[in-house]
Structure 1
Amino acid sequence: MNTKKKSTSRIMLDYLFRFKFYIFLAVLASIPVSIISASPAYIVQKLLDKVLIAGNNNYLLIIVVGLPILFLLKGIFYFIQNYLMAYVGQKLIISIRYDVFSHLQKVSLSFFSKKTTGQLISRMTNDVNMVQAMVKGSMTILNDIISLICLFGYIFYLHWKLTLLVFVVLPFIGGIVRKFSKKIRRVGHDMQEKMADVTSVMHEAISGVQITRAFTMEEHEIERFHNKDRESMKAQLRGVRVQSTVLPVVEFMNTMGLAIVMFYGGQIVINGELTTGQLIGFLAGLGMTFSPIKRLTNINSVIQQSLAAADRIFSLMDEDIEEGEEDKNIEIDDLKGSVEFEDVFFSYDDKYDVIRGLDLKVRPGEIVAFVGPSGGGKSTIVSLIPRFYTPYKGEIRVDGKNINDINIKSLRKHMAIVPQDTILFTGTIKENISYGNPEATDEEIIEAAKMANAHNFISDFRKGYETQVGERGAMLSGGQKQRIAIARALLRNAKILILDEATSALDSESEALVQDALENLMEEKTTFVIAHRLSTIRKADKICVIDDGRIVQLGTHDQLMEKGGEYRQIYNAQFYFLDEASGE
């Protein structure tokens, strides 16, 4: 759903319009509920005038028999109304969550570098639940408005002059509610932001618990969480103060109106313009308006907080998706694998160039190793190839075609990525390997696992390929996770491979198995690798020394060692002892 240039209220109406049939039925059911809820005022008047004063037994019988039937009907219609609105509320939050989640899958990766995971989770859960409360509250508003119309209509029918006295007070109540509404919405927005901060700290602390324990920072994390929790508490209390102020003021104004009516109503009964039953019915009807008005005041607070939550939710849907996909008509069915960078410049913040005038030609099947100091731009370069980010100047071409002109899904289906930080998803080993090709057969999955040197350890598990890996692969060792990730990339059978070799320490056996799996993976593929292993660097057709966003040296290992300069310095600093130890 396109939410740009639409108010939050308009967006909510667009969503609710999807369920107009169910809402219409709920509204129909709410009419008898509201009318019956307002009926006791009329019944009290007839009980006094017709039964207690006039002694009419027929009226007594009608009231005694009719009252249970009325409220039985009210219960039936209330069930229908409540169930239908609960259904609408659940469907609404599913629709919103689906749309927001779908949108987040398409936004630029730069967006995620500006938001914490906890904040996004909070918007998808806490904020959406607040919106659901607004749907439930809207039906309460409808019921109360219909009840108020019935009650005011009844007391107006009894004595219109007396009713006008009541309407003198109502504008003051409306003004108070309107004044507090804006403040409640602002406070509600702050409450949701503070809760998102709490969620963010919780997510970081739980996902990083091993690091916390390793550095004995438990007390620090507890204090950090406690501080955010206290800030959230303060925001909640500010909200309570605002909400707790408006209700007593409204109640006081209601009571003032009732006192005025009682005084003048007594005079009218004495003068014979109203019967005692009519006055009591009038006061009963007026008294029954207090509860709906009080609920409307309370539910207004919920509505304002829900609108604040909706503002935060729909702001996510205003984020731009990866640009220009609808008009990219170039599809790639068969890719050879040549890649060319021509005068490429890139900046994350439009202030500092991370990549500066990059020129590089790679033939199909070549292995290109990037080495250089941390922060030099190696990871950024490989992130430009699948268009995770877009350079502001220059071109990147695949098989001679500008990647900006290629449909992004068509481009990426020819690429496989093995990141340094292995990402596995909650599910089975089989599901994680087939993530590279959901259409793969069991035989293909097993073959990929064998090539990744993963089949043997998978077979050792009691459930084999159906073994659950846990959150982010927590049930597997580092080497096992890496080999699953390699099997996933093998199954994709892409022509272009992007590999960030893991620097995590593995035992010698796991290291050898992973290295062998990587060599299987790189075979006959155009490979871009951020290299940390000496064997990978030696095997590379091109070694690019990256520093400050530029290629400062380019060649094979032997060529660059002969030239000297930056590569030889890096080699001597990082790889010399490995070379000596391996005897190479």
Structure 2
Amino acid sequence: MALPSADPLDHHYRGEHPIRTLAYLFREDRGRLGLGVLAYFVKHSPTFLLPLVTADVIDIVVRHRPISGLWVDSGILMALLMLNLPGHLLYVRCFSHSIRRMGVRLRSALCWRLQHLSIGYHSRVSAGVLQAKVIRDVEAIEQAAQQTADSGLAAVVTLIGATTVIAVRDPVWLPVFAVLVPVTVLLAMALRKPMKQDNETFRTEVEQLSSRVVEMTNLIPITRAHGLERDAFRRVDGTLRRVLAAGLRLDLINGTFGAMAWIALNCMGVACLTGAAYAAYTGALGTSPGDVVMLSAFFTTLIGAVGALMNLTPVITRGLASVRSVGEVLQAPDIEENEGRERVEQVRGEFVFDDVTFAYPDADRASVADVDLTVRPGETVAFVGASGAGKSTILNMVIGFIRPTSGRILLDGRDMTGLDLRTYRKHLSIVPQETTLFDGTIRDNVLYGLAGVGDDELLATLRDANALEFVERLPDGLDTRVGEKGARLSGGQKQRLAIARALVRDPRVLILDEATSALDTQSERLIQEALGRLVAGRTTFVVAHRLSTVRNADRIVVMDGGRIVESGTHDELVARGGAYASLHGVRAS
């Protein structure tokens, strides 16, 4: 579904009441919703007209009025009942369509926003939490809207119709019915605040549970390998207990709310019936026996309508909490800004690091400090050093995931802070340590995001990546499904597909992040051959610990504590006998 120009992202959610936010989300369907309300009023009219007709029939019988009135009353009511089917179908078509469209637009907006939020945001916020917002919170908003439409609209139409009939037929009783609304408002206001707080607590605990479950499933191989099933379960079980406690608190406040509303409204119903019967018995207020039946029926109906509105309060509160939750993503400020910046149509591949420093927020020291480095087009530069030396931070700045805290990085002479990084990344490919594959075919995974690539070109690419030999042995060849995260392939096979994915894009800039770190000797040999074809003529940044991966680089940069301490070829650095030689335990021959 294409995101429209005026989409759910184009709105300020922070600090705004969720009701206004919902009105904004439904803005495109206001006409359809208005038609749905009219259809509902027509199809629901027998609910508030039946007591009036019943009262008239009773008065015809008791007062021996002309029997023709009975046939007229019955005919009118039958005609209204027959309108229920077309009215209901029109209402469902209008409201359900609008609510479904809103849900799709909102999920589309969330997914779009998640694609543009910075890598820093995604490193801070659990994937399970984000999944809960896209699935559970939007579902809660849809349910709140649907239940409000079904139950709330019925209650409102009934209240309006009933009070109108009473105002025309027995206006003296109208003030009694008018008491219902203030009672409803007072009860709602009394319990709304604790309900809001408990809904927020419950939502947060469910998000944490989602995060724990995602974490648990990702760690199952490690958990099984070390016999830690009980420990893993205890971590999830603690969250489950908090969800249980929060849910019970929420149920208790909802139950208290419902019971108080039911008692208050039914007490008023008994009082109304008694008062109407006494008035008819004494002949006061001009109340007839039919009026007693009508008023009693109306009060029962109105009690049901007001009770329905009261019961909607927890649903609406939960829905509004979910609107706020979704707004946390849609208005998250940590977004990568590219609009209005210079597009990158071509890349030669020259990078200049000009006194670059980067420090993560709240970090004790800079991850990268005072880096000055020039990388020529087509040069392969390998970064080595102990863990925490700043290698990955350098790669993240090259990709554009993070920007220097101070200093600048020039790409072909242009400051990267002024570039549209989306267009720059079309000229870049990454071969990571952990290959990310989705549950699709070999073809889908290698050509992810590409169109117009024929099988001949794809097969040639797989051959260059040393992947064709195993692909041809698979039962369905290019159309073989790899399973979730490539579960049906070995580590070496997945890595060769990652190289094919990079090759087929013919990038000018290449990132190799520990691309051979977890492979056996045979797989490493095949991948080294494929990498040799991949890096030819491309500016390549390599991070690796294995000597075999870095020794053929045009230049090796040794980092320590975020700073460059050595730079040169493998032979030059070994001859110096410095940090590089110590790191790899080699010495000049």
1:507-518 → structure 2 map (5 Å cutoff): 507-518=520-531
Aligned to 1:472: 485
The Cα shift of 1:435 comes to: 2.0
Letter in 2 for 1:119: V
Q: Tell whether 2:364 aligns with 1:342.
A: no
Aligned to 1:375: 388
Contact 1:106 1:321 in 2 (8 A): no
Aligned to 2:82: 72
Q: Tell whether 2:68 aligns with 1:58.
A: yes
Contact 1:154 1:285 in 2 (8 A): no
Aligned to 1:443: 456
Aligned to 1:231: 242
Letter in 1 for 2:263: F
CA distance in 1, matches of 2:374, 2:517: 31
Q: Tell whether 2:1 aligns with 1:2.
A: no
Unaligned stretches of 5+ in structure 1?
none
Letter in 2 for 1:76: P
CA distance in 1, matches of 2:180, 2:32: 37
Q: After superposition, give the CA deviation of every residue in 1:33-56 in whole Å (9 maximum; x if it has no partner).
A: 232221221122112111355264
Q: After superposition, give the CA deviation of every residue in 1:495-528 in whole Å (9 maximum; x if it has no partner).
A: 1111012455433322211111111111111111
Which of 76, 82, 95 pairs up with 1:85? 95
**More displaced stretch, 497-506 vs 424-433:** 497-506
The Cα shift of 1:146 comes to: 1.6
Q: After superposition, give the CA deviation of every residue in 1:216-268 in whole Å (9 maximum; x if it has no partner).
A: 11112222222212211222221111111112212222123223323332332
CA distance in 1, matches of 2:95, 2:190: 29
1:494-513 → structure 2 map (5 Å cutoff): 494-502=507-515, 504-513=517-526
Q: Secondary structure at the match of 1:412?
A: helix
Q: Tell whether 2:141 aligns with 1:131.
A: yes
Aligned to 1:418: 431
Contact 1:370 1:378 in 2 (8 A): yes
Letter in 2 for 1:44: T
Letter in 2 for 1:49: D
Q: Tell whether 2:399 aligns with 1:386.
A: yes
Q: Secondary structure at the match of 2:201?
A: helix
Contact 1:554 1:560 in 2 (8 A): yes
Q: Tell whether 2:218 aligns with 1:207.
A: yes
CA distance in 1, matches of 2:121, 2:147: 33
Q: Tell whether 2:344 aligns with 1:332.
A: yes
Which of 22, 28, 35 pairs up with 2:32? 22
Aligned to 1:353: 366
Contact 2:269 2:303 in 1 (8 A): no
CA distance in 1, matches of 2:282, 2:307: 33
Aligned to 2:541: 528
Report percent identity of matched pairs. 30
Contact 1:51 1:60 in 2 (8 A): no
Q: Tell whether 2:231 aligns with 1:220.
A: yes
1:137-156 → structure 2 map (5 Å cutoff): 137-139=147-149, 140-156=151-167
Q: Secondary structure at the match of 1:539?
A: coil
Q: After superposition, give the CA deviation of every residue in 1:469-505 in whole Å (9 maximum; x if it has no partner).
A: 1111111110000000000111111111110124554
Which of 375, 398, 405 pairs up with 1:362? 375
The Cα shift of 1:411 comes to: 1.3
Which of 259, 266, 290 pairs up with 1:248? 259
Aligned to 2:4: none
Q: Secondary structure at the match of 1:493?
A: coil
CA distance in 2, matches of 1:323, 1:313: 19
Letter in 1 for 2:490: S
Letter in 1 for 2:31: F
Q: Tell whether 2:187 aligns with 1:176.
A: yes
Which of 177, 185, 194 pairs up with 2:196? 185
Q: After superposition, give the CA deviation of every residue in 1:339-365 in whole Å (9 maximum; x if it has no partner).
A: 111111112215431111111111111
The Cα shift of 1:306 comes to: 0.3
Q: 1:64 to 1:172 in 2, by over 3 A?
A: closer
Letter in 1 for 2:508: K
Contact 1:103 1:321 in 2 (8 A): no
Q: Secondary structure at the match of 1:83?
A: helix
Q: 1:338 to 1:79 in 2, by over 3 A?
A: same
Contact 2:45 2:80 in 1 (8 A): no
**More displaced stretch, 254-263 vs 114-123:** 254-263
Letter in 2 for 1:250: A
CA distance in 1, matches of 2:337, 2:110: 20
The Cα shift of 1:16 comes to: 0.4
Q: Secondary structure at the match of 1:417?
A: strand
CA distance in 2, matches of 1:315, 1:430: 37
CA distance in 1, matches of 2:377, 2:540: 9
Letter in 1 for 2:28: R
Q: Secondary structure at the match of 1:41?
A: helix
Q: Secondary structure at the match of 1:324?
A: coil
Q: Secondary structure at the match of 1:567?
A: helix
Q: 1:37 to 1:491 in 2, by over 3 A?
A: same
Contact 1:436 1:491 in 2 (8 A): no
Contact 1:33 1:74 in 2 (8 A): yes
Q: Secondary structure at the match of 1:368?
A: strand
CA distance in 1, matches of 2:216, 2:407: 41
Which of 291, 296, 299 pairs up with 1:283? 296
The Cα shift of 1:65 comes to: 4.7
Contact 2:358 2:366 in 1 (8 A): yes
Contact 1:8 1:314 in 2 (8 A): no
Letter in 2 for 1:246: F
**More displaced stretch, 103-112 vs 78-87:** 78-87
The Cα shift of 1:99 comes to: 0.6
Q: After superposition, give the CA deviation of every residue in 1:131-162 in whole Å (9 maximum; x if it has no partner).
A: 00122133232231121011122223343333
CA distance in 2, matches of 1:290, 1:168: 12
CA distance in 2, matches of 1:312, 1:542: 49
Contact 2:383 2:391 in 1 (8 A): yes
Q: Tell whether 2:107 aligns with 1:94.
A: no
**More displaced stretch, 503-512 vs 236-245:** 503-512
For these two proteins, the number of residue pairs brought into alignment is 575
Contact 2:547 2:584 in 1 (8 A): no
When normalised by structure 1's length, the TM-score is: 0.94
Contact 2:516 2:524 in 1 (8 A): no
Q: Tell whether 2:309 aligns with 1:303.
A: no
Unaligned stretches of 5+ in structure 2?
1-8
Contact 1:247 1:298 in 2 (8 A): yes
Letter in 2 for 1:129: E
Letter in 1 for 2:445: N
Contact 1:367 1:529 in 2 (8 A): yes
CA distance in 1, matches of 2:194, 2:265: 22
